[in-house]
Structure 1
Amino acid sequence: MDIFTAGRDFVRREARLVENRLFSAVFDGADPAGVVDALRGYQNADGGFGHGLEPDKRCPDSLGLDVETAFDILLASGARDETMVRRAADWLASVATTEGAVALAAPVIENYPRASHMSEWTYEPGLNPTAGLVGRLHELGVDHPWRSLAGSWCAAELDRGLPTEAHSFHEALIFLEHTGDVDLDRIREWLPKLSFYRADADDPSYGVTPLHLASTPDSPWRALFSEAQLDAHLDRLIADQQDDGGWAITWEPPGQAATLEYRGIVTVGALRTLKAYNRL
């Protein structure tokens, strides 16, 4: 069975409705309005997203990480619902610091099953996820007072220095792609300083790879990497497909359902990346 068919069958068999609607929009030409419909079940009355949309915590309350996940799904599908996005931005404004920064999560997650890494550090407002959320709002084409406030805070933070952790760095790149001058030399020189950055395609450990930073060939960050680097990571991505057709994850979600949900997310993501780079 070929890569695509095996991955498709895994998504159909094991993934959530929202990933199935996303898959259909991306690969089958389905109306992306179906993705918006699936996301509605995760949006709370306060405008934020919760209910484990990002599966590492089984918390129904609105959280920054779930808003980010919703924005990513909208962007991946090509769907746009300005009312949905504005309500989420209103919620971000309601929980932000006076400067506009927001956190990934909140102590409320402690009342629900969660992965071990979802702990106190996720309660601290920071560039992760604030910078990425601002960048995603730009890409979604939605202006909002919180976007301006938080964008000013992010720009000031990045003027002081780039993050040294790869996830925060990735969020910063999403912000810079849409809001600032792209200084490739500065970014390239910073990559070796990052924790959780996995430059070597043969490294089996968890981390952010060049394909996370340049998930499509038209990304401005593709120029950071040689063709040989990208080819090696694409080869590794293909090799990492499991016998059941899905891709594995390298951390421990809070349960079996969350594990399958995250495998559905990364499987759709892997297929999208391979499609973008003409590897399917």
Structure 2
Amino acid sequence: MKMNFSDLTLSQLTLEKIRTAFLKIARPLEIARYSYHFEKGSVKGVLKELSAFQNHDGGFGHGLEPDFHLPDSTPMATSVGLRILNSLTSSKARDEMIAKALQYLRTAFYLDRVGWYSVTPEVNEFPHAPWWTYNFTTNMTPIDNSWGNPTAELLGYAYSYQRFMPNWPIETYIENALQNFERKTDFSSEHELYCFLHLYHHLSSDLRVRLEKNLQRGIDALVVTDKKKWPSYVPQPLDFLIFPDDNLWKISEDYIRINLQYYISLLEKNCVIYPNWEWSTYPSHWDLAKKEWTGVLTLKYLKRLQQFGVDVEIRFSF
């Protein structure tokens, strides 16, 4: 059953202030996506801006994920690009970009890992957050300690768009991911869990059921319902409701309401959503990344409010 919190509101004056602040701080990509989702903008406009982040090999880079500014293609940045493409109405141009991205992923796949590493060693040569530093002893970043991030999400796109990857054994790799997750007992990474949630929503119903028990266990273990902790970097109720048509994961509607109210209050106070983390390195570049993240996060939570029935439409008077 779809949840609806249409009784929660933002005033028209606040929405106009949010829009003004957002347009000043966001990248052209997020502005195009805002137009698409809230102002009947075109898919073409989003694709035009997103194409600036897609390389000739089909993968995405160039700081699409603002915490690392490596221009080269990486699986992690490509997961962000595919997430955006998947949110758009199908078109020939959109599908061509997806096909190119999947061809890149095919070449970047590691058989011995049965998946992808998030980034390449060259990430160290460009400004990045500390958690993206490539370790030449382990031959990966700290993010890669969690196998499913971004592999589980990327397998979801490969499964949904397998027509663009002929003769690639996606069923074998999906089966490996399912078995990997069914054996899982340690739920220490919320980001890995988010990736499995994305995978879940790409699968057929008979495959979904194999993920449900451990997804519930992971969410129960990780979700932070104490609103006093939300200003810190913690996984909140809304973070696990990526596709909020229904609340599969038994998160109390009271907590969802409180979490929605939390973001409404932030928007009323600041007009934008600032990141609740920062880099300890590259301070001048963090200033740029913070601006980029502010646009990304503001758009994310405006969309989330809309998905849960909160009216965020601006009714201009002329």
TM-score normalised to structure 1 length? 0.89
Correspondence 1:268 to 2:299: yes
- Give the CA deviation at 1:71: 1.4
Do 2:66 and 2:292's aligned partners in 1 also have CA atoms closer than 8 Å? yes
Q: Compute the displacement of 1:134 (Å).
A: 2.0
> Paired residue for 1:167?
191
State which of 101, 106, 109 in structure 2 corresponds to 1:88: 101
In the alignment, is the contact (CA less than 8 A) between 1:65 and 1:104 conserved in 2?
Answer: yes
- Relative to structure 1, the CA distance from residue 255 to residue 193 in structure 2 (aligned partners, 3 Å threshold; closer, same or farther) is same
The residue number in structure 1 matching 2:128 is: 114
C-alpha change, 1:147 and 1:124, in structure 2 (3 Å) is farther
Q: How far apart are the structure 1 equivalents of 2:249 and 2:124?
A: 41
Unaligned 5+ runs, structure 1? none
Structure 2 spans left out of the alignment, 5+ residues: 1-11, 134-140, 280-284, 312-318
Is residue 193 of structure 1 aligned with residue 229 of structure 2? no
Question: Which residue in the other structure is 1:177 paired with?
Answer: 201
Q: What amino acid maps onto 1:90 in structure 2?
A: Q
Scaled by the length of structure 2, what TM-score is found? 0.79
Deviations 1:20-48 (A, max 9, x none): 11000000111112111111111111111
Which structure ranks higher in relative contact order (CA pairs < 8 Å, sequence separation ≥ 6)?
Answer: 2
Distance in 2 between residues matched to 1:140 and 1:8, nearest whole Å: 34
What pairs up with 1:46-195 in 2 under 5 angstroms?
A: 46-78=57-89, 80=91, 81-98=94-111, 100-119=114-133, 120-123=141-144, 126-138=147-159, 144=165, 145=168, 147-161=170-184, 164=187, 165-179=189-203, 180-182=207-209, 184=212, 186-194=214-222
The structure with the largest alpha-carbon Rg is: 2
1:214 aligns with 2:241: yes
Q: Residues 216 and 151 from structure 1, CA distance in 2 versus in 1: closer, same or farther, beyond 3 angstroms? A: closer
Counterpart code for 1:236: Y
| Identity between Structure 1 and Structure 2 (%) | 23
1:226 to 248, 252, 255: 252
Aligned residues: 277
CA shift in 2, pair 1:141/1:200, >3 Å: farther
RMSD over aligned Cα atoms: 2.4
Residue equivalent to 1:246: 272
**Partner Cα separation in structure 2 for residue 251 and residue 44 of structure 1:** 29
Distance in 1 of aligned mates of 2:89 and 2:161:
9
